[in-house]
Structures are given as structure tokens and as C-alpha cells.
């Protein structure tokens, strides 16, 4: 069925809207998924009329969509109306309310109204309260939804405060908290791989798995987001959301079915059971900050725009965690993420144990299951096989499934799935409040430990993090599995 809605995009001139949301909506349009009654209200503070706005977004849509920006862009642009407002002006909420409530598409009372918050997080609250102050929610007869970008708060207290405000006007069913990593093909594949393959299901535990590693590296620094990033850091920006979500999918118990709430229940169980073992000595946490790399012409974090001259914000975090459950007793989960880490890479490595003495001894050739999330998407299993011509020497071989090669054309953008699901009111790729609450509890706890004197290790911009991250994993005679 074609999608029908009035889609209100707050922050329609921002980076996320231009690079991801509008191009993804355009892809849905080109695929014929949007019905005649799907309309986009683009909210921004700039002086644009309809034509200016359409001209303004066209280049970004062309550069970032999976589809050529051709004659179809004309019919796409006809779906859009631009609404100028300033989030800080009370009177603008009155005008927006009046404009939305008089929209002919909403008159039947059936078409859903979707608010997508692609703005700085503090505006999520201001916009909700601004609309409430204008009496909008009392007058609206239509089904409504609220889609919130990450980050959801910056600690447990702020997240709880936000949630209390949204909950006044929206039910949990109407709130969609995004974590765009959940929309990535290979992150979704974690569940299929685990629960569709009996060979993995039986060995997915501490008896057979030695350790699990999650790496998310970014090439970029902080760009123009210094103001936001300097008060956030890698732990709160990346670990609290993407890395803990991936961990929860890897470590969850088998759900009773694939219903969304069953999956969410299982994910929450994991997040509640995540522990740091060596709390006092800080041995399980490494924080780093990138410094200038003259050779590569990259500046250091402290020289970035809007960053305090003596900032101690971490741009890299590595953690050794455990999941307190019979399945995972004694299995370390190593997580690392950072900015300016040389390459844009996200992947998971599940390293299997060396059980008993092998008839074919070989060093450092453990069986590995690698899930490549980005930029390449795929899965491979590293096995040992006999070297050609030799009777007993074994070498690593891999059974490789590369998703990028097996589907024609460019892969579906994570944001296409997220938008598509939000429009269809499907919660699968969105986090429930108790997932956010438990992850902030854990992160606040780590934050407190770090606040009591963790040192910040330097790493050169363009390299994969500080030396200390190698020590974090090396202490137990393991090493980071570097996947290219």
C-alpha cells in the first residue's frame, strides 16, 4: 500500500535533512512508495519561497539519493511546502498550528501527521512545548507520531526530563527514537544470522566464543559540530547509542518470536546486565583525543572550531565490558570508536575459542565470524584449511558473503528504512524508552568513573586510536582484529 501522511520536517535546511532525509524521501518517491496524499512540510527559519527552497535542496538530493535527480524531482517538489518559523518565537507556533490544522489533507481526521525532529536536541522539547502552548494537540483529530533523532538527552536526568515532556503529548506508541545504525543492512542481519542458523545458535555462548569486538571508526573530525561534540564526547555520542545497540543484538537471549516488543525486551535485558569489571583502576576504559598530524595535514581536536582550548573531551573511547548472564560469563566484549581514526569502518568480530589441543596447530588463526557494517557490507567466516601442497600446514581461508555485490544497484540507505518504518508506524528500528534509560544509567556510571581521574591518551589524527587501546585488549593476550 502506498504511504500517506503529512510529514513535518523540522530543521529542513540542516545537514541531516539535506544529506539523508530529503534524499531518502526522494528515493521513496522514485520507488513509487508515496501516495498522492503524501505531503512534506519543510520547516526552516530562512527566507525562502517554494521555488527557492526547491532550488536549495535539489543539489543535495541529486548528490545523495540512490536515484538520478531527473523529471521525477519535479513531481517530488510538488509534494513539498516550505514553512518559515523560528523555534524560539512563541507566535510562530500559533501560525504553524493554524497552517497545519487547516491543511485540506488533514480534514478527514484519518491521515497521520508525522513530526520529524532534525534539529539540535534542545529544540525537540521547545517545539513540542511550543505546539502544546498553541493548543495544537487538543485541536488535532488525526493520528500523530513524533520521530526524534539521536541523541536522546545527554545523560539519564536530561533524557528522563525529555521523556516526561514528550509523554505528556504522545504515547510511547507514538514516539519513534531513531538510531540509524539499526537501519543498516548488516546490523539487521545480526538477528537473522544468529537465529536462522542452528550452527551459530548452538555455539553462541561462553563455551565456544572467546571474545566479541565492535569497532566503529570515523574518518572525519568534528567539522562544524564542535559546540555539540565538545559537551558530549565519544562515550555519549557513539557508545551510548550505536555501540550498545549492536552489542544488545549480539548478546540477547533468543526471543520467543520476532515481534518488536519481544525483541526490545531481550535487548533491554542485555543493556541492564552490562558491566565494567575493573571499576577502580580504570583498566577497562581508554579515552583518547586526536592531535594534529602534520604529515596528513590534519589539525588536532583542540584546534577545531568551538572547542575549548583546554578541552578534555574524548574523541576516542575503548571499553572492555562483560554481560552478566550465564550465556556470557567470562566473555569480554571489546568496544572502540573514534573520530579521525583514518578510515570509515564499522564491523563486528566474533572470535571463537581454541578448545582443546588442535591436531593442526597454527598461531593466531582463530575461527572468526566478521560482520562488516560499513562501508562494505557483508559477512565472512574465517576457517582453517590445508595449504595446497602441504600435508599438515593450515592457512586461513574465508567463506565470504558480500552483500554489496549480490544485490544490484546501490544498497538501500538506512534512512530510507527508518523513514519508511516511521511512516508505517513500525517500531522495529526504533528504541523503546527503557532501552534508552538503561543505556544512560550504564553510561552515566562510566562517566562518573572517568570523572574521577581517567587519563586522556593522545593519538595522531588519521590513525586508529591511542596505543592504550591495544593494551586494553592486549592485557588478556588478545588483539584487535583489524579488518580492511
Ligand X SMILES: NC(=O)c1ccc[n+]([C@@H]2O[C@H](COP(=O)([O-])OP(=O)(O)OC[C@H]3O[C@@H](n4cnc5c(N)ncnc54)[C@H](OP(=O)(O)O)[C@@H]3O)[C@@H](O)[C@H]2O)c1
Q: Which is nearer to ligand X, 147 or 252 (CB)?
A: 147
Q: Does 119 bind ligand X (CB under 6 A)?
A: yes
Report the residue number whose CB is nearest to ligand X.
14
Q: Does 125 bind ligand X (CB under 6 A)?
A: no
The closest alpha carbon to 176, from 421, 441, 384, 457, belongs to: 421
Number of continuous H segments (helices) and E segments (strands) in the chain = 18, 17
Q: Does 465 bind ligand X (CB under 6 A)?
A: no
CB atoms within 10 A of CB 74: 9
Secondary structure (3-state) at 420 = helix
Write the burial class of residue 410 (CB in 10 Å: 0-12 exposed, 13-18 middle, 19+ buried). Answer: exposed
Rounded to a whole number of angstroms, the minimum distance from the CB of residue 289 to ligand X is 20
Q: Which is nearer to ligand X, 26 or 480 (CB)?
A: 26
Rounded to a whole number of angstroms, the minimum distance from the CB of residue 241 to ligand X is 9
Cβ pair 286, 468 in contact under 8 A = yes
Q: Does 393 bind ligand X (CB under 6 A)?
A: no
CB atoms within 10 A of CB 269: 16
For the chain, the farthest-separated pair of C-alpha atoms sits apart, in whole angstroms, at: 81
Enter the DSSP assignment of 41. Answer: E
Rounded to a whole number of angstroms, the minimum distance from the CB of residue 334 to ligand X is 24
Q: Which is nearer to ligand X, 15 or 277 (CB)?
A: 15
357-to-56, 59, 213, 393, 439 alpha-carbon distances in Å: 65, 60, 24, 15, 40
Rounded to a whole number of angstroms, the minimum distance from the CB of residue 474 to ligand X is 33
Q: Which of 3, 4, 14, 299 binds ligand X (CB under 6 A)?
A: 14
CB atoms within 10 A of CB 164: 10
Binding residues for ligand X restricted to 67-96, rule: CB under 6 A: 86-88
Q: How far apart are CA 328 and CA 220, in angstroms?
A: 34
Q: Which of 8, 9, 11, 414 binds ligand X (CB under 6 A)?
A: 11
Task: Choose the stretch contacting ligand X; rule: CB under 6 A; options: 15-23, 60-68, 239-247, 430-438.
Answer: 15-23
Q: Does 128 bind ligand X (CB under 6 A)?
A: no
50 is a catalytic site residue: no
Q: Does 396 bind ligand X (CB under 6 A)?
A: no
Catalytic residue among 29, 154, 180, 242: 242
Q: Which is nearer to ligand X, 21 or 193 (CB)?
A: 21
Per DSSP bridges, beta strands 285-291 and 316-323 are: antiparallel
Q: Which is nearer to ligand X, 235 or 472 (CB)?
A: 235
| Three-class DSSP labels, 91-148 | HHHHHHHHHHHCCHHHCCCCCCEEEEECCCHHHHHHHHHHHHHCCHHHHCCCCEEEEE
Q: Which is nearer to ligand X, 120 or 394 (CB)?
A: 120
Q: Which is nearer to ligand X, 147 or 298 (CB)?
A: 147
Q: Does 150 bind ligand X (CB under 6 A)?
A: yes
159-to-7, 130, 155, 435, 481 alpha-carbon distances in Å: 25, 19, 6, 11, 35
Rounded to a whole number of angstroms, the minimum distance from the CB of residue 17 to ligand X is 6
Rounded to a whole number of angstroms, the minimum distance from the CB of residue 190 to ligand X is 20
Q: Which is nearer to ligand X, 223 or 308 (CB)?
A: 223
| CA 424 to chain CA centroid, nearest Å | 20
Q: Does 13 bind ligand X (CB under 6 A)?
A: yes
Bridge partners (DSSP) listed for residue 359 = none
Q: How far apart are CA 435 and CA 440, in angstroms?
A: 9
The site that binds ligand X (CB under 6 A) totals a number of residues, namely 20
Q: Does 466 bind ligand X (CB under 6 A)?
A: no
Enter the DSSP assignment of 14. Answer: S
Q: Does 179 bind ligand X (CB under 6 A)?
A: no
Q: Does 422 bind ligand X (CB under 6 A)?
A: no
CA atoms within 13 A on the CB side of 12: 29
Backbone φ, ψ for residue 290 (5° rounding): -75, 145
Q: Does 56 bind ligand X (CB under 6 A)?
A: no
Rounded to a whole number of angstroms, the minimum distance from the CB of residue 10 to ligand X is 7
Rounded to a whole number of angstroms, the minimum distance from the CB of residue 117 to ligand X is 7
Q: Does 153 bind ligand X (CB under 6 A)?
A: no
Task: Choose the stretch contacting ligand X; rule: CB under 6 A; options: 49-57, 65-73, 114-122, 339-347.
Answer: 114-122
Q: Which of 16, 101, 132, 412 binds ligand X (CB under 6 A)?
A: 16
Q: Which of 8, 25, 29, 44 binds ligand X (CB under 6 A)?
A: 44
To 10 degrees, the CA torsion angle through 203, 204, 208, 212? 150
Cβ pair 77, 56 in contact under 8 A = no
Q: Which is nearer to ligand X, 86 or 259 (CB)?
A: 86
Binding residues for ligand X restricted to 240-279, rule: CB under 6 A: none
Rounded to a whole number of angstroms, the minimum distance from the CB of residue 28 to ligand X is 19
Positions touching ligand X (CB under 6 A) are: 11-17, 44-46, 86-88, 118-121, 149-151
Q: Which residues are catalytic?
A: 242
Amino acid at each position: 500500500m502506498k504511504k500517506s501522511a503529512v510529514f513535518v520536517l523540522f530543521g529542513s535546511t540542516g545537514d541531516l535533512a539535506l544529506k539523508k532525509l530529503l534524499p531518502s524521501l526522494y528515493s521513496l518517491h522514485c520507488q513509487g512508495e508515496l501516495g498522492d496524499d503524501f505531503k512534506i512540510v519543510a520547516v526552516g527559519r530562512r527566507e525562502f519561497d517554494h521555488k527557492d527552497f526547491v532550488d536549495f535542496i535539489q543539489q543535495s538530493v541529486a548528490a545523495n539519493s540512490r536515484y538520478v535527480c531527473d523529471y521525477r524531482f519535479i513531481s517530488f517538489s510538488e509534494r513539498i511546502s516550505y514553512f518559515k518559523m523560528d523555534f524560539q518565537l512563541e507566535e510562530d507556533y500559533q501560525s504553524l498550528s493554524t497552517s497545519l490544522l487547516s491543511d485540506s489533507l488533514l480534514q478527514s481526521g484519518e491521515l497521520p501527521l508525522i513530526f520529524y525532529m532534525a534539529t539540535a536536541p534542545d529544540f525537540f522539547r521547545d517545539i513540542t512545548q511550543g505546539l502544546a502552548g498553541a493548543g495544537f494537540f487538543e485541536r488535532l483529530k488525526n493520528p500523530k507520531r513524533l520521530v526524534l533523532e539521536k541523541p536522546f538527552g545527554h545523560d539519564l536526568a536530561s533524557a528522563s526530563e525529555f521523556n516526561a515532556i514528550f509523554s505528556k503529548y504522545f504515547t510511547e506508541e507514538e514516539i519513534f527514537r531513531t538510531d540509524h545504525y539499526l537501519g543498516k543492512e548488516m546490523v539487521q542481519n545480526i538477528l537473522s544470522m544468529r537465529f536462522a542458523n542452528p550452527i551459530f545458535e548452538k555455539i553462541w555462548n561462553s563455551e565456544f566464543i572467546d571474545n566479541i569486538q565492535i569497532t566503529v571508526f570515523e574518518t572525519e573530525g568534528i567539522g562544524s559540530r564542535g559546540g555539540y561534540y565538545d559537551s558530549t564526547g565519544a562515550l555519549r555520542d557513539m557508545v551510548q547509542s550505536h555501540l550498545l545497540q549492536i552489542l544488545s543484538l549480539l548478546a540477547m537471549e533468543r526471543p520467543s518470536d520476532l515481534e518488536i516488543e519481544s525483541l526490545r525486551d531481550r535487548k533491554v535485558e542485555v543493556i541492564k546486565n552490562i558491566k565494567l569489571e575493573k571499576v577502580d583502576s580504570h583498566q577497562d576504559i581508554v579515552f583518547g583525543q586526536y592531535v594534529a598530524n602534520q604529515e596528513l595535514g590534519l589539525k588536532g581536536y583542540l584546534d577545531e572550531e568551538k572547542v575549548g582550548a583546554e578541552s578534555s573531551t574524548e574523541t576516542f573511547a575503548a571499553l572492555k565490558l562483560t554481560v552478566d548472564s550465564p550465556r556470557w560469563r567470562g566473555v569480554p566484549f571489546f568496544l572502540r570508536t573514534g573520530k579521525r581514526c583514518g578510515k570509515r569502518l564499522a564491523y563486528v568480530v566474533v572470535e571463537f575459542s581454541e578448545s582443546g589441543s588442535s591436531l593442526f596447530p597454527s598461531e593466531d588463526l582463530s575461527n572468526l565470524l566478521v560482520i562488516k557494517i560499513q562501508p562494505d557490507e557483508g559477512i565472512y567466516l574465517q576457517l582453517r584449511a590445508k595449504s595446497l601442497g602441504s600435508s599438515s600446514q593450515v592457512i586461513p581461508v574465508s567463506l565470504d558473503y558480500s552483500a554489496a555485490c549480490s544485490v544490484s544497484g546501490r544498497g538501500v540507505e538506512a534512512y530510507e528504512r527508518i523513514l519508511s518504518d516511521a511512516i508505517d508506524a513500525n517500531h522495529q528500528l526504533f528504541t523503546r524508552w527503557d532501552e534508552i534509560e538503561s543505556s544512560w544509567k550504564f553510561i552515566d556510571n562510566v562517566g562518573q568513573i572517568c570523572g574521577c581521574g581517567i587519563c586522556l591518551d593522545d593519538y595522531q589524527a588519521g590513525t586508529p586510536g591511542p596505543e592504550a587501546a591495544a593494551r586494553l585488549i592486549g592485557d588478556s593476550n588478545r588483539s584487535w582484529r583489524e579488518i580492511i
